[in-house]
Chains A and B, each alone.
Chain A
Amino acid sequence: MSGRQKQFVGFSVLRLSALVVLLILVVILGDIVVKGAGVISWDFLTQAPTNGMTEGGIFPAVVGTFLVTLITAVIAVPLGIFAAIYLNEYAPKTKVTRLIRLSIRNLAGVPSVVFGLFGVALFVRLFGFGTSLIAAGATLGLLTLPVIITASEEALKTVPNSYREGALALGATKWQAIRTNVLPSALPGILTGVILGLARAAGETAPILFTGVAFYLPFLPDSIFSQFMALPYHLYILATQHHAIEQVRPLAYGTALVLITLVFSMNLFAIILRSYFRRKAVNSR
């Protein structure tokens, strides 16, 4: 085989690999979209499950996922952004800074079920929150923290140094320079990272399994100390734990479709936001 033929074969193998990855995505999404689409209706989205969860909708799970993600955001977003500000704007090159960075990367690698264990030990028991929205939200918040820090730091890094120096030269203090010049231009990037992190949290199951999510609740949570239903857990129940699994399969497909639609709309929004501001940044330079 000549060098040229080898190159053709080699590149074809590479292209084939990329196609396989594409195919995997198409098969997974295709199956869920095709079989789930027929189940989606206004009633499915706005009604509670009825008749032992064999009929009705997923409204409480949608609300629960929304609420727990909101709590996740309240806990992880400020903490994550502040930590990123420290790392990018203040942190000296010391051992402590290295330790912080090492911790962020390792925290990102901690298995989600271990976060669940930690949530039980700390929030449910030690803090006495019980199995509740706040315990689950806090657990998800910790899990999301590394994503938000990393993305926010990336966003801060893209702000040119001249922005900081310009403000400093005009007599601004460091914090004033950050607040008036750095943060506003990093904000879209930070927002993108926040949304991506929260989308991941909304789809997580293992961390909320023992910290607050419920199999079935006849009413919506009325405080942060209530248990709640959530879309990912509802899908898990319908797919594996229900007494009539075959009968509720369409409901499981519908739940899966709603869940991925929710997560992907968040992702898509973040991606559009990012490319919009990237283009804007390029144009203004």
Chain B
Amino acid sequence: MGRFKESVYKNFFFANALVVVVILAGIFLLLIRNSLPAFLEVNFLDFLTGKVWNPGGYSESSYGILSLLVSTLMVTAGAMLFAVPLGVLTAAYIAEVASPREREIIKPVIEILAGIPSVVVGFFGIVVLGPWIARIFNLSNGLNAVNGSILLGIMALPTIISLAEDAITAVPDDYRQASLALGANRWETLVKVVLPAALSGIIAAVMLGMGRAIGETMTVLMATGNAPAMPGSFLDSVRTMTATIAIELGEVPFNSTHFYILFAVGLVLFIMTFLVNLASDLILERYQEVE
């Protein structure tokens, strides 16, 4: 009897854990199922390579995702350009230089930064960052790719910092001792021994931060101006894939081609972030095995 009860408990907990797999698979399948009807009307290649996104077109609608995809990649790249150096250097500071007292200040700061809702970051982009950018570059408004990039960078920072810090802290102390014993100072040890040893973990951290930036919605929706055209420069208004879904899904009738095509955009996003996360996972797994 007791044994039977025990196996009931075990199976009950197992079922709960399995729900996560079901959800992930469910998201994938429902995205596919709701995307497919769109391709009865839209050529799949035109969808991927078309530059014009004009779903409510007067005479003819066009559903080219390319300009949205480029916008997403552009703001993500811009975000990484400043978040990666800033994040990794800060992580190195926390892990290797900061006194315990400083650490107790900076770590909660990063947790608080991670906790700011994305809509608040977007609001900051509108009321503070936008006007600054407009003044610096002499533009009529500052809602553009630069603004979105900076905000996305800020949002990716906590992920990059905390995971890169973990990676740096995980480097065995023997490495440091050996380097110091050979006469290197702490800076040389950090740059030539510790950071290279932590590199795979740092790369994994950067990729996770990148995954977050690709999928971030509210900040880019609020701060990039949302012009659905192929961006020419970082000072152009851009519209990412996430923002497009957020803007249009509320307005389209269910079961229209436009409705289904938004699920297709979601599917592309899902696959992109899935691959980035998977890559980061594989890197981490490999580096944990080495240890």
| CB-based contact A83/B17 at 8 Å | yes
List of A residues within 8 angstroms of B217 by Cβ: 111-113, 205-206
| CB-based contact A15/B93 at 8 Å | yes
| CB-based contact B24/A17 at 8 Å | no
Q: Which of A46-54, A86-94, A217-225 contacts B (4 or more CB under 8 A)?
A: A86-94
Considering the chains assembled together, what is the distance between the CA atoms of A149 and B115 in angstroms?
Answer: 18
List of B residues within 8 angstroms of A32 by Cβ: 120, 123-124
Q: Report the nearest B residue to A87, measured CB to CB.
A: B17
User: A157 contacts the other chain (Cβ, under 8 Å)?
Assistant: no
| CB-based contact B23/A142 at 8 Å | yes
| CB-based contact A210/B250 at 8 Å | yes
Residue with the greatest number of chain A CB neighbours at <10 A, chosen from B157, B187, B214: B187
Q: Report the nearest A residue to B25, measured CB to CB.
A: A103
Q: Which of B9, B112, B262 contacts A25 (CB 8 A)?
A: B112
| CB-based contact B19/A83 at 8 Å | yes
| Cross-chain pairs A/B with CB under 8 angstroms, 9 sampled | A3-B188, A28-B116, A28-B154, A113-B215, A114-B270, A210-B250, A256-B123, A259-B117, A267-B112
Residues of A within 8 A of B (CB): 3-4, 6-7, 10-11, 13-15, 17-18, 20-22, 24-25, 27-29, 31-32, 78-79, 82-83, 85-87, 89-91, 99-100, 102-118, 120-122, 125-126, 142, 145-146, 149, 173-175, 196, 199-200, 202-206, 209-210, 232-233, 235-236, 239-240, 249, 252-253, 256, 259-260, 263-264, 267, 271
Residues of B within 8 A of A (CB): 2, 5-6, 9-10, 12-14, 16-21, 23-24, 26-27, 30-31, 33-34, 85-86, 89-90, 92-94, 96-98, 102, 105-106, 108-113, 115-124, 126-128, 154, 157, 161, 185-188, 190-191, 208, 211-212, 214-218, 221-222, 242, 245-246, 249-250, 254, 262-263, 266, 269-270, 273-274, 276-278, 281
